Structure 1
């Protein structure tokens, strides 16, 4: 098969980014601060050695003696470790506030903030750097004579200035990040990005491959690959799965949808051989585990419903009797409107993918109707006794019906009828 044909057949598969080892390496909160601290410690070791080869008196660098250098480095170390504790405490307070006010599922967005990570890293790095350089300062009575690493001490002062700058940036970031508008907008941007890569355009080459159903032959027996760890399905590498199946002349069936939870030992993948063909060797099945990835937490990479789920959680929390903040729920509905407007303009992802006329992949993609149901069901349920929520949902659905593809309109009309029933006679009353 020629390369253009192959691209055409796979054109409707989602253009999603795989989670690389590099991504996994940098994902934990502690990695970037640790790297900054290690670099600062190495600089504290080697910079004094470079100082030894320079002139004794350098203009524009630290002019004091050994006692002044020790005092300055000691003060830097003491101040930086204190402020590091302050920054960490502020971060914990913000995390607790976000968890209780909005949703525990937004914590990952705060912890993944590079501003927070770099701030903690710079403060801790200033502490370790100052202590490391302090070891190399020698007084008049020292065995090696007097030695003051002027450049190294000056660099410590510059790290303090960088810490002050990062502290200001951190405070600005924190005050903005806890605003509901910022949280909702960030979640909306991430979800729109995933939807854009996940759901195909109606005229995407390869959409014709979305067959309605597939059944294995009556005499075929599938080889089942079970999950070895519990968690959520975060990645399905569709293209590699199709290539793997075509090379071995089998059909790969993914039993789980991206975002689904799977316990250890539960069936995750089935491999169906062609009639009369031998089973795939067990060692040859192992690469499939790298193509269907299960992790403890869900991620945005291939999961449009995850962003919708987070937004709906915020709306539910706002509509709870303890908080009773329907205006926040309206802000969430506005962002959901933005997401659904893109969703209803897209075609369904084909559940069956063929190569050279033969079905090679059977999977369970997230559907447009599923995303619409997730976005509307719970806000309408918990907001039925409010004036704002039903009317806002009605306005949203009326707009979506003007742009939606014909296949998506029946579901939207059902939700519109349900929302109008909740509005009732108060729907004719103005917003005021």
Structure 2
């Protein structure tokens, strides 16, 4: 979102294009868990072919400390490296499955994606697989002495394979450390809170200075205005909107686009996701272009969805308060992370639902997009009321919720005070009923 300075304060210029993160094609390329291991294996095959071939053409001494054994020794070393690395790869894969099962059963199924996106896990699997493939590929270029030659040992390649083994050991230690850290609920909850808070700071700006400066352009349709629905061609959760793409199309065609769905909502194929208020006729190419501005995935992500981060924390608290788990301390830790994120949100201003054409004076320019940003009041209510519902009968969690709401009331800007006061009354009423039941 654009900003401007007024004295010592910086405020949001409402109506500008939201400067929010979205997935690029480069990020989508590296998102799948298998992508880095697959690329590493291909690179190992290429290196395993090119490096011995280069050594075969250049008979010079490649390295002072290169491998000095004969063909039999080289073949044995490469064989040991290959067998050991593929065995440990199976172990790494097995440990990963165990941790995923633990995360799914103890914390929340929605945390699995964060673990699979870990570069430590992907890098560990990649280096062990690539070392295995490299060792096997280089073995093809080792031969004993034959008639007319003295045999050939790609000394540099064998040395590189040994160095890759040392790298594997380093990654394995990092992997074990990552696994142990991931199994600690405090670390897992804190990581979600930190990632959610970082996204919240990108999506929402702190309200500073005169609140009247937040005003921006508005728009409302007139009776009889022509409009055409744009249906999605995918099924899943909305994870991002490309507002710049929508704005450029609307400006070029002198149209207004109203987005009917929020980030985080689930949509099905054929459901209307936006409407175009325009006198022209939408072509199939136009519909594809507009649909390409909506990122849809099977699972919610933290690309633009602050609510998803809060949802993970609430789910962990709910799971911890279930009769089968009965772990109120974990629920309190989740409430503490919710407190961390919400304390920032209650100091922010919500993005304007109206986005105008680019230009120096936003207020004087026509609105081109009307969207539905996630409302901070809704995020607050959902975070508190659901945990409160599951915390019935707990001693720790209601007190943590009351302390959180009291602190949020001290930090909040005026627009969220009524919501927080209503939640405080709800929690106080519950506390009074509990005291009466005990007496």
Instruction: State the TM-score, normalized to the length of structure 2.
Output: 0.90
User: Is 1:400 equivalent to 2:404 in the alignment?
Assistant: no
8 Å contact 2:402–2:424 — kept in the other structure? Answer: yes
Deviations 1:53-109 (A, max 9, x none): 133695322111111111111111111111100000000100000100000000001
C-alpha change, 1:143 and 1:414, in structure 2 (3 Å) is farther
Output aligned runs, 1:83-98, within 5 Å: 83-98=88-103
User: Is 1:51 equivalent to 2:55 in the alignment?
Assistant: yes
Once the two structures are TM-superposed, the CA of residue 11 in structure 1 deviates from its matched residue by 6.0
**Among residues 386, 401, 423, which one is paired with 2:394 in the alignment?**
386
Other structure's SS at 1:209 match: coil
8 Å contact 2:14–2:215 — kept in the other structure? Answer: no
Give the corresponding residue for 1:35: 39
8 Å contact 1:9–1:205 — kept in the other structure? Answer: no
User: Is 1:121 equivalent to 2:123 in the alignment?
Assistant: no
Once the two structures are TM-superposed, the CA of residue 198 in structure 1 deviates from its matched residue by 1.3
8 Å contact 1:12–1:207 — kept in the other structure? Answer: no
Structure 1 residue runs without a partner (length 5+) = none
Which moves more between the two structures, 408-417 or 189-198? 189-198
8 Å contact 2:217–2:367 — kept in the other structure? Answer: no
Q: Distance in 2 between matches of 1:57 and 1:231?
A: 55
Deviations 1:317-362 (A, max 9, x none): 1000011000000000000001000110001221223344433211
8 Å contact 1:200–1:347 — kept in the other structure? Answer: yes
Instruction: State the TM-score, normalized to the length of structure 1.
Output: 0.91
Q: Distance in 1 between matches of 2:269 and 2:83?
A: 48
Q: Distance in 1 between matches of 2:70 and 2:99?
A: 43
Once the two structures are TM-superposed, the CA of residue 210 in structure 1 deviates from its matched residue by 6.3
C-alpha change, 1:300 and 1:236, in structure 2 (3 Å) is same
Q: Distance in 2 between matches of 1:169 and 1:353?
A: 46
8 Å contact 1:36–1:125 — kept in the other structure? Answer: yes
User: Is 1:359 equivalent to 2:367 in the alignment?
Assistant: yes
Other structure's SS at 1:55 match: coil
Q: Distance in 2 between matches of 1:201 and 1:414?
A: 23
Q: Distance in 1 between matches of 2:187 and 2:73?
A: 46
Once the two structures are TM-superposed, the CA of residue 13 in structure 1 deviates from its matched residue by 4.7
**Among residues 203, 221, 245, which one is paired with 1:240 in the alignment?**
245
Give the corresponding residue for 2:175: 170
C-alpha change, 1:347 and 1:8, in structure 2 (3 Å) is closer
Which moves more between the two structures, 335-344 or 13-22? 13-22
Structure 2 residue runs without a partner (length 5+) = 5-10, 358-363
Q: Distance in 2 between matches of 1:350 and 1:65?
A: 72
Q: Distance in 2 between matches of 1:138 and 1:296?
A: 51
8 Å contact 1:9–1:354 — kept in the other structure? Answer: no
User: Is 1:222 equivalent to 2:222 in the alignment?
Assistant: no
Other structure's SS at 2:172 match: helix
